[in-house]
Chains A and B, each alone.
Chain A
Amino acid sequence: MTALLSISGLTAFYGSVQALRGVDLEVGKGEVVALIGSNGAGKSTLMMSIFGNPRARDGRILFDGQDITDMPTHEIARLSIAQSPEGRRIFSRMTVYENLQMGAAVAGFAGFEANLDKVFGIFPRLKERLKQRGGTLSGGEQQMLAIARALMSNPKLLLLDEPSLGLAPLVCKQIFETVKRLNEEEGLSVFLVEQDAHHALKLAHRAYVLVNGAVTMSGKGADLLRDPKVRAAYLEGGAH
């Protein structure tokens, strides 16, 4: 499998605090890759540093063969990488519709209507709330909007940081199914961070375990699911 995203030796700092300590990681074309780890392990930092925020201090990040390590954030986004970030970061004073328009800005407005129909198919709730301001949505609705906004850009690679956070179990299941379907039917590559390690490992082709800013384990999702150490730390109420 050819690598769509390839990260090697990545380190990142917040001031003098080191958050990533030489991460090596790959996401192949058409692959779903999960990243698990306890709170503060550096998962969100890794997701954001792909976009240069924080910038990599050492190491390289390649996307589709292109070196994006030092590229400005907005140019990275324009290469068709989309992220539903930690904390959702909905534009709270914009309507749902405007938030979706913002998501589509990268793709241009050619496929806008089709994409809109697609995300409404996944989250019918958003269609009912089109004129409502983002800040007035419920937490779960905001999460849906964050994912929908990311999908509006027709991404090649979708980064999801804890997509199930705050969602009812049913909606959560639906989101995992959606990811699976987009991956199988449209070949969308997905890199996701998830607290719900059980679901994530079941969904993912491959997964990485991040501990204290470094990858300590990686392998097939199904294999990690059976691994005693992983089970103890992330699946059976061990670490958190």
Chain B
Amino acid sequence: MLAFRRGESGGAMEVFLQQLINGVTLGSIYGLIAIGYTMVYGIIGMVNFAHGDVFMLSAFIALLILLLLTQMLGLGAAPAFIVAMGASMALTALWNYAIERVAYRRLRGSFRLAPLISAIGMSTFLANFVTVTQGPNNKSIPPMWDQVITLTSGGAYDVTLSYRQILIVAVTGVLLAAFWFVVQKTPLGRAQRACEQDAKMAALLGVDVNRTVALTFVIGAALAAVAGSLYLLQYGVVKSTDGFVPGVKAFTAAVLGGIGSLPGAVLGGLLIGLIETLWGQYFSSDYKDVAAFSVLAVTLIFMPSGLMGRPDVEKV
């Protein structure tokens, strides 16, 4: 656990580059989860504590479908993964829709803490539900796409880029672009933004606020399911308690980026991913979670509106 444990024998630059690549990969996943936190907070002012567990659930759904398709039906890795991710997006979205209806909607008008408490309950329920049905241990998939491209070689340390990492960053990029388009350019996205700013006024203009809030949960869950599927792909294993730590990190990302801000969530995700991997490399990998959580505390104390937090009214 010594600092510079690889860098000591030279190749410090290569090590740094490698950790940048790893950090961006991890950060993509955090960013996808963070969007779910930030959107829900933006529209109903609630920290959806169960979102990390929704992410974990989505990874399990992807795992089960992937195993079914590859081991029982003998499908190839690529089509199996695409189907598994798509199905996980759909099923997780449905789950989250149900959660919103059952556990949050009725509490929306009551005191602020009520939905948060309900969300903590939902988080506990989801984690335990998966523990009971799937067991408490790691479940794994066979490694997929583990070929690597060697970027630098001959030095003390080879910098590599795995096919998986390329896939993760590419899928994240494409989905974020599509998502950004929906939010910025479609009537649906406009209604969503209108509800964020003034839900009562939006209703006065004919926007069905309940439906828009439900859609926010659906979209957040679908993106979390993409993150869950990619997480599974990258690490090969998932267990029922895996919702908590990535969930808190993604929440940290949302706060760091400025809660309510979509670009902020992505930026925050990338930063948390980088902080975590670089800290693990240069200081102590035992304390890499502590590093990420310290960021949460420091942000909340010194910069509560985050990096891209928005002032409500601005004069040009």
Real binding pair: yes
Interface segment, one of A8-16, A56-64, A93-101, A205-213: A93-101
How far apart sit A133 and B310, CA to CA, in the bound complex (Å)? 13
> 1/0 contact trace for B159-203 toward A, CB 8 Å?
000000000000000000000000000010011011001101111
- Chain B residues near A94 (CB-CB < 8 A): 190, 193-194, 197
How far apart sit A101 and B188, CA to CA, in the bound complex (Å)? 12
User: Which residue from chain A places its CB closest to the CB of B311 in the assembled complex?
Assistant: A135
On whether the beta carbons of B314 and A103 are closer than 8 Å, the reply is no
On whether the beta carbons of B314 and A77 are closer than 8 Å, the reply is no
- Chain A residues near B316 (CB-CB < 8 A): 132, 136
Contact A101 B203, CB 8 Å, known A91-B197, A92-B313: no
On whether the beta carbons of A85 and B204 are closer than 8 Å, the reply is yes
Contact A93 B203, CB 8 Å, known A132-B316, A136-B315: no
- Chain B residues near A189 (CB-CB < 8 A): none
B74 within 8 A of A: no
A78 within 8 A of B: yes
| Residue of B193, B200, B208, B310 touching A53 (CB-CB under 8 A) | B200
On whether the beta carbons of B204 and A91 are closer than 8 Å, the reply is no
B17 within 8 A of A: no
Contact A83 B204, CB 8 Å, known A92-B312, A92-B313, A133-B314: yes
A55-105 interface (Cβ within 8 A of B): 72-74, 77-78, 82-83, 85, 89, 91-94, 98, 101-103, 105
| Residue of A78, A82, A98, A136 touching B314 (CB-CB under 8 A) | A136
A106 within 8 A of B: yes
On whether the beta carbons of A51 and B204 are closer than 8 Å, the reply is yes
B2 within 8 A of A: no
- Chain B residues near A51 (CB-CB < 8 A): 203-204
B301 within 8 A of A: no
B72 within 8 A of A: no
B1 within 8 A of A: no
On whether the beta carbons of B201 and A89 are closer than 8 Å, the reply is yes
On whether the beta carbons of A105 and B193 are closer than 8 Å, the reply is no
On whether the beta carbons of A105 and B314 are closer than 8 Å, the reply is no
- Chain B residues near A78 (CB-CB < 8 A): 206
- Chain A residues near B187 (CB-CB < 8 A): 101, 105
- Chain A residues near B197 (CB-CB < 8 A): 91-94
**Which bucket holds chain A's interface residue count?**
20 to 34
A84 to chain B, nearest CB (A): 10
A38 to chain B, nearest CB (A): 25
User: Which residue from chain A places its CB closest to the CB of B209 in the assembled complex?
Assistant: A74
User: Which residue from chain A places its CB closest to the CB of B310 in the assembled complex?
Assistant: A93
- Chain B residues near A82 (CB-CB < 8 A): 205
A195 within 8 A of B: no
How far apart sit A94 and B184, CA to CA, in the bound complex (Å)? 10
How far apart sit A101 and B207, CA to CA, in the bound complex (Å)? 12
On whether the beta carbons of B194 and A89 are closer than 8 Å, the reply is no
On whether the beta carbons of B315 and A74 are closer than 8 Å, the reply is no
A144-181 interface (Cβ within 8 A of B): 149, 153
How far apart sit A101 and B205, CA to CA, in the bound complex (Å)? 10
Contact A106 B205, CB 8 Å, known A133-B314, A135-B312: yes
User: Which residue from chain B places its CB closest to the CB of A94 in the assembled complex?
Assistant: B193
Contact A77 B193, CB 8 Å, known A89-B198, A105-B187, A135-B312: no
Interface centre among A98, A105, A106, A136 (most CB of B within 10 A): A105
User: Which residue from chain B places its CB closest to the CB of A146 in the assembled complex?
Assistant: B201
How far apart sit A78 and B193, CA to CA, in the bound complex (Å)? 19
Question: With contacts A105-B205, A132-B316, A133-B314 known, what are 17 further pairs, Cβ within 8 A?
Answer: A53-B203, A73-B209, A74-B209, A77-B204, A89-B201, A91-B194, A91-B197, A92-B197, A92-B313, A93-B193, A94-B194, A102-B205, A105-B191, A105-B206, A106-B206, A135-B312, A153-B206
Q: Could you write out 14 A-B pairs with CB less than 8 Å apart?
A: A51-B203, A73-B200, A73-B209, A77-B203, A89-B198, A89-B200, A91-B198, A93-B197, A102-B202, A105-B205, A106-B205, A106-B206, A135-B313, A136-B315
Q: Which 6 A-B pairs have the closest CB atoms?
A: A106-B206, A77-B206, A73-B203, A135-B313, A89-B201, A74-B208
